[in-house]
Structures are given as C-alpha cells and as structure tokens.
Structure 1
Amino acid sequence: MEMEKKSEINGHAMSGSASTDQILEKSAQKSLGEKLMEFLRKNLLVILTVSGVLVGVGLGMMVRSMNLTKAQMTYFAFPGEMLLRMLKMIILPLVVCSLISGAASLDTRSLGKLGGIAVAYFLVTTLIASGIGVALAFIIKPGVGAGALNTNNLGLESVSSNKETTDSFLDLHVFLFFMLQYATDYKMIAVGNDSNGTTLYQKVPYGTETDGMNILGLVLFAMVFGVALRKLGDEGEELIRFFNAFNEATMVLVSWIMWYIPFGIMFLVGSKIVEMEDVVLLVTSLGKYIFASILGHVIHGGIILPLIYFGLTRKNPFSFLSGLITPFTTAFATCSSSATLPSMIKCVEENNGVDKRISRFILPIGATVNMDGAAIFQCIAAVFIAQLNNTELNAGQIFTILVTATASSVGAAGIPAGGIITIAIILEAIGLPTNDLSLMLAVDWIVDRTTTVVNVEGDALGAGILHHINQLEMKKQQQEGELVEVRVEAVANTQAEEETSPLVTHQTKALEAMPEAIESVL
C-alpha cells in the first residue's frame, strides 16, 4: 500500500510538473501583455501629458487659421488658465505644510548640514550657469550686427524700469520677512525753493505692496516655524502631526490635479500658438539670441547638472531624470517653477524614492531660489543688449553680470516672465539702458520654456544628491552603532568568562581605567 501511495504521489508529482510547465508557458505568454499593461498603467500620465503638448500644437495651428477675436482667444485659453489656477491654489498649503513638517522632522544639526549643502549646490550651479551664459553670448555674439533692430521695427511697446540696483537688493531682504509681493517705487517730494523761487524736488523711494504671493517669505517663515515646533518638544508634537496630515492631504489633492494636467496643457500650448504675432520676423530678428539661450540650457541641463549629480552620487542621472517627464512637461507648458512644484514633489518621491523629509524640505526652497535656467538667459540678454548698443564690456562689468545674475535670481519670481525684471537689475548694475527689454519680452514665451525645465531639473537633481548624502550619513551612524554594540558584547563576555585573547585583555585593561564604564556595561 505504501508503495502504491508513493507511486501515486510520484504520478501526481509528474502530472503536476507537466501542468506547472503549461502554466509557466501560459504565464510567459500572458506576461508580455501584462507587462505592456503594467507599463501603460505606470506611464499613462506621462504619455497623456506629452500627447497633450503635441495635440496642443496641432490644435493651435488649426485654430490660428480661424482668425479668432481677442474674446474668443480668451475663451479658448480658459481650460489652460484653469490648470494654472489649480496649481497656484495648491502652492500655498503645499509649501507651508511641506516645509514645516520637513524642518520639524529633521534634527537641528542635520537640518543645518543639509541646508548648508543645498545652499552651496544652488550657488555653485547658478554661478556655473551664469558663466555658461556669458561665454555663449561672447562666442555666438547675438547682438553684433543687429544695431538697427529696435522696438519700433517689431511694433513692440517699450518696457522701462526706474528701479535702482540697490533697491532691488533691499527688496530681496524685505521678501524674506514679508508675505506679500513687495516692490520699491519712487515719488517726488518738495523739499523747498531755490533762490529763484523754483520748487525743488527729491526722488524718495517708498515700499509698495503688489498683487501676488511672496513664496520666498513663506519659505523662510515655514522653515523657522518648523524648527521652533521641534524645539517645543512634546508640546509641539500635536501641531507637527497636524501639519504632516495636512501635507499628506495636500498631496492627495495634487494627485487629483495631475490627471487634469494633460487636458490643461493642451489648451495652454494651443492658446500660446494662437496668440503669437509674426513669429517668423521675431525669430529671424532675434534668432541668434534665442539659439544662444536654448543652447545654454541644453549644455547646462544635459551635461553640467547630470555630471554634478553623477560625480556626487555615482548613479546614472538620466535614469533619475526619466522618472520626472511629467513635471518637465508641466514646466515646459506652464513656464512656472512654482506651478511645477506639486507634480515634482509627487514624482520625485514615488518614481525616484527620495525621502519625503528631504524632498519636501529642499524642493520648495529650490523652486524659489534656484534659477539656473534664468541665470543663463539673463546673462545672455545683458551681453546681447550691450552688443546691440555697441558697448564694449570690461572685466569688471562681466564680473558684475555674473554676481548680479547669481544673486538676483534668488529673488526672481517663479512665474512666467519673472526673469525680465531681473535683467533690468543687471542692466542698471552695468550702466546700460533698459529700453531694449521689450525685445526680451517679445521672445520670452519661447526661451522661458527651456528656462523653467532647467530650473526644475536643478531642483530635482539637488534633492537626489541630498537624499544620497543623507543615506550615507544614516549608514555611517548605523555602522558606528553596530560597532558600539559589538564592543559592549565583547567586554561583557570577557568579564564573565575571563578569556585570555590579547585583543580582549587589551580591551579589558582599557576599561579597567574607567570603572564607571564597566559598571554601566555589566
């Protein structure tokens, strides 16, 4: 009977193995379809977003031929405006809650260290970007031979700026401690009469509040508030948990908004194409400037930033960036670092596995202060306007452009055309007229797209670098902890069993000099 049972079992085993082979074959056949479905499921949003841009271009070209009125153009752009409004709506709670929870979850020492590394990374990359911008402007010389080009030729309105360089930097400090957008303006105040009885006036600067949200002030407040909550200890725990929950709820809202992004992007891109004036004239007139700016962005975003990431982490930067196609497409369509922030945080955490504490601490700061792409086109624009006015720049002026572009990019608003005002600061610093700024504004909608992509790429790679450094620190601390545990165990055993190993006796002698340590171990 036992033999029969065995044979039966073997028989079943044989038939079972045959059936398992069939199942494996079927699963192998299914796996190709399943893999395709899984790939589509994972990358559906990316495919839809990229498709949104392509369909938007086609739709824009088609609608452009219909010669819409201004009112009809506004209605056509409405779905795109809706996307921008949604993203801007979510920025305030996202920045405040993510920074408070991020700053509160990191201890003060690691916060200071990570913050220091982040600031160094932002400054170095922005300085490199400024250097690339100036170098390309001198190599390509976009303004040489274009002296006849002016705002009247292209039918552009003049853009003037009466702001002093000093005021711009003072405004930057006000931004740090103010929640609304702030700008310095001037008014003429009568200060008396001269000998002829003519009234004398003085130009006096005064602060004005402008519409809009000052993200830089919010960032500083949220960071300091998060540190203050951590210092409270147990009393601050409940509030920290509240902000953590608020943050998670905000990320759920972001995931919902992200499914509207492909539709909104389609109309954003389409409406821009419909609104375009005579593109051929602009591109032929300012083609070298556009080419120099986009080439600078390609060099910095495609070579320099990935090399910095690889040098510091020894990981493939392009596999890291491949998980961020949706935020890059959003950046390209919206031209806003701030509007791209929600999708960037989500993709960096989910696709690239970056620690939430790191991403939610560094990305809101980066979206506000790290503007590599802006620094490139601002430096090119400054040299372009100098060449346009046949002005030879000396070494001091070039150095001023580099430093001013790096420093003022911190205060540049993360909004479309936010860098144009910064160019005015650079021009004032080197003593050039600002009346040619309208040329920059005319093609800003082209250049601003690659600018924003490079800006957000710098933020994302910065988050990846900080995550890598943080992981190394954690491993180091774990290894040190394990060594302490091993030493404690070894000492305890030597005291109990009186072993005579030279290593153990050496350790014992060392501990005899510290009787308190032996007592604590035992």
Structure 2
Amino acid sequence: MGTEKSSKKKLSMTTQILIATIGGIVFGSVVGPRAANLKFIGDIFMRLIQMSVVILVMSAVAVAIGSQQGKGVGKMGFHTFKWIFIFTLFAAVLGYVLCQIIKPGVGITIVNPTEITEVAMSGSFQDTLLGFFSTNIIASMAAGNMVPCIIFAIIFGLACSVYTSTSGDDIILRWLKGINGVVLNIIKMVMKLAPIGVFCLLANISGAIGFKVVLPMIKFLACLAIGDLIMLIVYLPLAGFRCKVNPLAMPKKFLKVSMLAMTTTSSAICLPTKMEDSVTKFGVSRRISDFVGPITMSMNSNGAALCDLCYVCFLSQACNVTLTTPQIIMAVCLAIMLCLGTITVPGGAVVTMTFLATSLGLPVEAIGLLLAIDWFSGMFRTLLNVDADIIIAMLVANAEGELDRDVFNEVKTVDYIA
C-alpha cells in the first residue's frame, strides 16, 4: 500500500519541468547576474543529450528503412516530404503576412549591434544540394551535420534491407536495433535530469541576460506567438479530420514535449521525447516514428521558416528598406532551403540572420536586437517545430494504415522501448 501511495504522489516529468521553469525564472530574477554561474550545469545536461542524438538518428532511420526489405519506404518518404514542404511553405508565407500587419520593425531605434563573429557563407542552389552529401560520414557525425548523416543512414538502411533479403542474415539489422535501444536508454536516464537542466538554463537567462530586453521587441515576438497559434489552429483540425481523431485531445498530449521545447529551445534535445510521445500518446507506429521523427527534426522547421521571414521583414522595416517582389519570393525560398538543411539548436540563429541579410542585400545593423531576444524567439520556433513534427508523423501513419486510434483515445497503452 505504501508503494502504491508513493507512486501516485510522484510528480510527472511535465510537472517537474513546469516547476523548474517557474523556479528558474524566479531564482534568476532574484539573484541577478550571479545566476550565470549555474549555466554550465544546464550546458552539461544539453551536451549529455546532444552526444547521443546523431547515433540515435542514424540508427533509427537505418532500422526503419532496413526493416522494410524494400517495401513501403518510397510511399512513406513521399508522404513525409509532401507534408514537410506544405507546412514549411505555409509557415514562411504566414510569417511575411503577419509582419505586414503587425510591422515589428517599424518604430525601432537601431542601437549598436551585438558583435557578430560568425559569418554565413552564401552559396548557390547546387552548393546547397552538394552539401547534403558527405565525403566523410565520420566527419559529418562529429560536426553534427544532420542532413548528410540522415542521407547516409537512408542509403545504409536500403543496403541493409537488400543484404538481409538476399542473404537471409539479419545480424546487421539486429545489431542496429540493439544500438538504438541502448542509446534510447541512455537518453531516458539523462532525461531524469531535465528539471535540473531546465532550472539552470532559465536561471541564467533570467539573471544574466535579463527580461527587460523583451519590451522593445514585443511586436516581433507577437508575430511569432500569433503565427504559432494560427498554425496550430490549422494543423490540429487538419490532423483530426484526416486521422479521424478528436483534435481537442491533442493539446494535453503535446504538453510535455511542448514544455521541453520552450525551455530548451532545441529540436535535437526534444527528439527522444517527441519520438516516444508519438508512439505512446498519439498512436503512431514505432516504424513510422523512427523514420519520420529524425527526418522532420532536421527538415521540418516550421517555426524556423516563420521566424526567418520575420527576421527579413524586421530588418527591412527597421532599416527602412522596401523589399521588392523578387526579394520576397527569394526570402521564402531561402527560408525553405534553410529549413531543409539545418537543425535547430540554441544560439544558431546568428548564422541564419546574417545569411538572410547578406543574401537579400539588407543592412545588418538591426541584427543585434534580434540576437538579444533570440532565446525568446527560440521558444516559439522550437514549440512549432516539435509539435508540427508529431502532426506529420500522425498524417504519415494514417496514410500507411499504422495509426492506432485506441492508443490515441487512451483505450490501451503501449511502450516505446521494446
């Protein structure tokens, strides 16, 4: 009886993260800049997750494809990339429209910008595509270049499928499944530290950087918040209608991964939780989750596409530069390409901002203000990225006939780790 009572009283991970979020903000506000001393603890937590992400992604994709033995991968990939393109294009266009209504850059006084030490290199469309293919997969894994790693994993999985079907020997596939299971357990152990990591990260943001910087940029953040809301209002009924499930039940299911997304501002950190929740809460099959989850993490950055167009519009409005129609079209295309070739990690927006500004011939003087609130922007970017990824997984699972509505409706439960 005592054991049952203690298990009932145990706080869920979502509740622990929520408490850590509030506690970190309050602690940082009270302590001030000295809270920055806790940042290294939050960084350790993030590194513990990040050190396993590449192996998790590659093993999951390779197993998902290798297990098919040549059947169904093409259809699954088609549905995945179809929804990625539709969602990303919608997000980019919506970002531009919202900025024309809210005008986040109008009335902003340009201050001395934060010094930018990284410069994004502009490249042709051919160069961008060429960068998707690695000459050294070990170097790409070490650098965390996710798209080349995913492409290699897809090719490896296809080759593994051919080898298994022709030789009858599934040792490689079983070996990959074992590695994937071990890495999942590593991440499951690390996730127990999530409340501590979140507390320390937010204490640093609240204390060292301060929340006063948000005030002059409230219109910019409003564009992101309203954009997130509009897209989720569109996406949830769309998924509910096509998948024949109740969309009103989805917000509660999104709560845990959404909290993690907003506090860590990293799609990579959220990947394990996103993949697990897709299976255990939304009824997506493990096969679909292992295939769609890593790919959408790297290529379905809806929130980033929305944010990229807001960057462009803010820079043009703050610097009193009128964008031409070709520039607007180019900005949308660049946002889509950036989303297909990048992975959202905290602090990575400086390269994106510089790339967009230089590619479109916009002044970079206003980038300092954007950098000052990038953590807050990252909250909205990552929230939409992660939630939209799960919705795409549902849509693909529905198309493949692998959506378990009993799991979604909580009639039965399943475990992610077999």
CA contact (8 A) 2:298 2:339 kept: no
Q: Which runs of 5+ in 1 are unaligned?
A: 1-29, 183-208, 475-522
**Residue identity matched to 2:349:** G
Distance in 2, Cα, partners of 1:333 & 1:52: 10
CA contact (8 A) 1:379 1:405 kept: yes
Is the counterpart of residue 90 in structure 1 residue 47 in structure 2? no
Aligned position for 2:257: 327
User: 3-state SS of the aligned residue for 2:341?
Assistant: coil
Aligned position for 1:359: 289
**Match of residue 274, structure 2, among 328, 332, 344:** 344
Aligned position for 1:492: none
User: 3-state SS of the aligned residue for 1:432?
Assistant: coil
Structure with a larger share of its residues in strand: 1
Following TM superposition, by how much is the alpha carbon of 1:126 offset from its aligned partner in structure 2, in angstroms? Answer: 0.5
Deviations 1:399-436 (A, max 9, x none): 21112111221122321132332233333333222343
CA contact (8 A) 2:319 2:366 kept: no
Aligned position for 2:98: 136
Q: TM-score, normalised by structure 2?
A: 0.88
Distance in 1, Cα, partners of 2:96 & 2:49: 34
**Residue identity matched to 2:215:** T
Aligned position for 2:414: none
Distance in 1, Cα, partners of 2:149 & 2:116: 33
Is the counterpart of residue 240 in structure 1 residue 173 in structure 2? yes
Following TM superposition, by how much is the alpha carbon of 1:284 offset from its aligned partner in structure 2, in angstroms? Answer: 3.3
CA contact (8 A) 1:216 1:411 kept: yes
- In structure 2, the CA distance between the partners of 1:112 and 1:440, relative to structure 1 (3 Å rule), is same
**Residue identity matched to 1:59:** F
Q: Deviation above 6 Å: which 4+ runs of structure 1?
A: 36-39
Which structure 2 residues correspond to residues 270-281 of structure 1 after superposition, within 5 A? 270-277=203-210, 279-280=211-212
Q: Which runs of 5+ in 2 are unaligned?
A: 405-418
Aligned position for 2:415: none
Deviations 1:114-168 (A, max 9, x none): 101100100000000001100000001111233xx2232xx632567463342x8
**Residue identity matched to 1:437:** I
Following TM superposition, by how much is the alpha carbon of 1:80 offset from its aligned partner in structure 2, in angstroms? Answer: 1.0
- In structure 2, the CA distance between the partners of 1:358 and 1:246, relative to structure 1 (3 Å rule), is same
**Match of residue 227, structure 1, among 147, 158, 170:** 158
Distance in 1, Cα, partners of 2:353 & 2:246: 35
CA contact (8 A) 1:150 1:436 kept: yes
- In structure 2, the CA distance between the partners of 1:326 and 1:384, relative to structure 1 (3 Å rule), is same
Aligned position for 1:447: 377
Following TM superposition, by how much is the alpha carbon of 1:356 offset from its aligned partner in structure 2, in angstroms? Answer: 0.9
**Match of residue 74, structure 2, among 112, 123, 132:** 112
Distance in 1, Cα, partners of 2:177 & 2:9: 32
Q: TM-score, normalised by structure 1?
A: 0.71
Deviations 1:2-36 (A, max 9, x none): xxxxxxxxxxxxxxxxxxxxxxxxxxxx9xxx8x9
**Match of residue 156, structure 1, among 98, 114, 118:** 114
CA contact (8 A) 1:52 1:263 kept: yes
- In structure 2, the CA distance between the partners of 1:343 and 1:210, relative to structure 1 (3 Å rule), is closer
Distance in 1, Cα, partners of 2:277 & 2:52: 16
Distance in 2, Cα, partners of 1:84 & 1:347: 20
Distance in 2, Cα, partners of 1:397 & 1:225: 39
Count of residue correspondences: 401
Aligned position for 1:256: 189
Q: State the identity as a percent.
A: 23
Deviations 1:78-108 (A, max 9, x none): 3211210110122122112111111111243
Aligned position for 2:330: 400
Following TM superposition, by how much is the alpha carbon of 1:62 offset from its aligned partner in structure 2, in angstroms? Answer: 2.1
Aligned position for 1:122: 84
Distance in 2, Cα, partners of 1:354 & 1:245: 21
Aligned position for 2:318: 388
User: 3-state SS of the aligned residue for 1:108?
Assistant: coil
Aligned position for 2:127: 170
The 10-residue stretch of structure 1 (93-102 or 172-181) with the greater mean CA deviation from structure 2: 172-181
Structure scoring higher RCO (CA < 8 A, sep ≥ 6) equals 2
